Structure 1
Amino acid sequence: MHIQSTSFRIWHRWLSLIVGLQMLIWAISGGYMVFFKLPFIHGVHLTQAADQPIQEASQQGHFLEVLKRYPEAHDVRWVNRFVQGRYQDLFQVHAGEEKFLVSPDSFTRLELTAADIRALAERYYKKGEPRITQVQLLRDQAPSELNPNHLPIWRVDFDDFGNTSLYLHRATGEMTVRRHDFWRGFDIMWMLHIMDYKDRTDITTWWLRAFILATFAFTFTGTILVLQTLRTSKRKPL
């Protein structure tokens, strides 16, 4: 019985270390996710609207021409966006899986340059004077903080307190994704919380299932040790 009790104690101690460590990780990661509100994590405070009010109210004839030129379009919007060094009225067309800007003069697609994206990012950014460190077009490989489905996309990095990165649509310059260090910290905490150390999306990983089994084993060995202690206490003479 002594050998069996010693074996249970050894298992219980090791299991308590595993369970206790994960409980501590859950407490820290859960506290982080509760303390920082989602709008802050999503970077809503970092940006503002960059488009201006439409300059010309009536463009019905132009809309018809756009639909004629791009019959696959299922959504056409009239926007005033900073492109080619100035604010100008443009059509934003959504056709199939594509979105792009169309000139109201030539009805041709506009291709945004790195200079256009830099200028737009400066206007989206609202945390003081924008200090841009890098503008790059991501085509094939997405960083871990970005869903690959967004590719290709423009990334603009800022030199600020949170190392902000703004991701703008490749063809329209629309704000798509905001990232900063607090979001990156949240992502790490989420990974630790759900125990998905690869994709950070699966809440039913084998790591989590193994931890559940370890918790049951911890509870079982602890219960056995308590029962053995009570039994030993009853046998001792008063």
Structure 2
Amino acid sequence: MKRIRFTPLFFRRIHKWVGLILGIQFILWSISGAMMAIIDMEDVRAQPPVIEHPIVTGGLIEPDQIGLEDSIDSFRLHMSEGRPIYQLAGNGVVRLFDATTGDSIVVDEALVRQRAALINGATIRSVSLLDAPNLEAREFDGPMWRVDFNDAENTSAYFAADTGHLLIARGDGWRLWDFFWMLHNMDYVNRTSFNHPLIIAVAFGVLFLSGTGFYLLFKSFTRRDFKWLKRSMSKQSKSPAPTSG
């Protein structure tokens, strides 16, 4: 087995290839950072307006008249589509009821389309039920409805599958920013964290690159490079000292 010799040539070869790989990443960092600074954050953060309705308190049935057999952990009254709704949660399940009739409300495609029309006047291109969040709605958990609009931003709105509440809306401006964010933090899977193995490996690669670079720089000097310094010091030592007048 051939023995590895840790010579300047050995480190120079590794330094060259590591420098090439990390150099590409440095370019991506520079481009992505510049693009994130250029993109208007108002377009990235833009969200559809939330329509607030005053809570109707008259004509409501008592919650115990709904006839639920399961225990209730939380209870909420809110307005949606101009009608009061009871939102009851128990045993990990959320159920909705019309607060005036007690009828059960199912969060289906028709209801989601109705709520989506209230936040965006554009034509709805498609509605789909997601079993799990995608990258655009990664801050949330559980199944959700996705509504795609035929507008200038190709907006997609996400509604919780159990409550029908609007979770988030994303457009092309956000998608462009998120792409450059992915390049910048090198999290190509989840796009959420700087603390992952790939970027840690790159950090150690940069440390290796700087260390070997300093080593090779030191090794590139010879005694001939310092002759001018010796001559300069010799001339200074031979020059006569100034006399006092």
| TM-score between the two structures when normalised by the length of structure 2 | 0.74
For residue 88 of structure 1, the aligned residue among 80, 83, 86 is 83
For residue 123 of structure 1, the aligned residue among 111, 118, 121 is 118
Return the structure number with greater relative CO, CA threshold 8 A, min gap 6.
1
Counterpart for residue 226 of structure 1: 217
1:157 corresponds to 2:148: yes
Instruction: Give the 3 Å change call, closer, same or farther, for CA 71–183 of structure 1 in structure 2.
Output: same
1:100 corresponds to 2:95: yes
Give the Cα–Cα distance (whole angstroms) in 1 for the partners of residues 143 and 193 of structure 2: 25
Question: In 2, are the aligned partners of 1:50 and 1:120 still within 8 Å (CA)?
Answer: no
- Give me the CA root mean square deviation: 3.2
Instruction: Give the 3 Å change call, closer, same or farther, for CA 74–202 of structure 1 in structure 2.
Output: same
For residue 111 of structure 1, the aligned residue among 106, 112, 125 is 106
Give the Cα–Cα distance (whole angstroms) in 2 for the partners of residues 19 and 230 of structure 1: 26
Amino acid at match of 2:87: Q
Give the Cα–Cα distance (whole angstroms) in 1 for the partners of residues 221 and 60 of structure 2: 87
Give the Cα–Cα distance (whole angstroms) in 1 for the partners of residues 41 and 89 of structure 2: 29
Q: Deviations over 1:87-124 (max 9, x none)?
A: 32322334453333211233232113322211210111
Give the Cα–Cα distance (whole angstroms) in 2 for the partners of residues 73 and 100 of structure 1: 12
Amino acid at match of 2:28: I
Moved more, 182-191 or 163-172: 182-191
Alignment of 1:178-217 (within 5 A): 178-217=169-208
Give the Cα–Cα distance (whole angstroms) in 2 for the partners of residues 124 and 188 of structure 1: 26
The alignment partner of 1:211 has SS state of helix
- Structure number with greater Rg is 2
Counterpart for residue 51 of structure 2: 50
Question: In 2, are the aligned partners of 1:5 and 1:225 still within 8 Å (CA)?
Answer: yes
Give the Cα–Cα distance (whole angstroms) in 2 for the partners of residues 133 and 170 of structure 1: 19
Shift of 1:206: 2.3
Give the Cα–Cα distance (whole angstroms) in 1 for the partners of residues 38 and 98 of structure 2: 46
Instruction: Give the 3 Å change call, closer, same or farther, for CA 216–68 of structure 1 in structure 2.
Output: closer
Question: In 2, are the aligned partners of 1:69 and 1:107 still within 8 Å (CA)?
Answer: no
1:11 corresponds to 2:14: yes
Counterpart for residue 23 of structure 1: 26
The alignment partner of 1:102 has SS state of strand
Counterpart for residue 75 of structure 1: 75
Question: In 2, are the aligned partners of 1:75 and 1:95 still within 8 Å (CA)?
Answer: no
Shift of 1:133: 0.4
Give the Cα–Cα distance (whole angstroms) in 2 for the partners of residues 177 and 33 of structure 1: 21
Amino acid at match of 1:155: R
Q: Deviations over 1:134-190 (max 9, x none)?
A: 01222x354343339633221100122222110112243210121222322333333
Question: In 1, are the aligned partners of 2:98 and 2:104 still within 8 Å (CA)?
Answer: yes
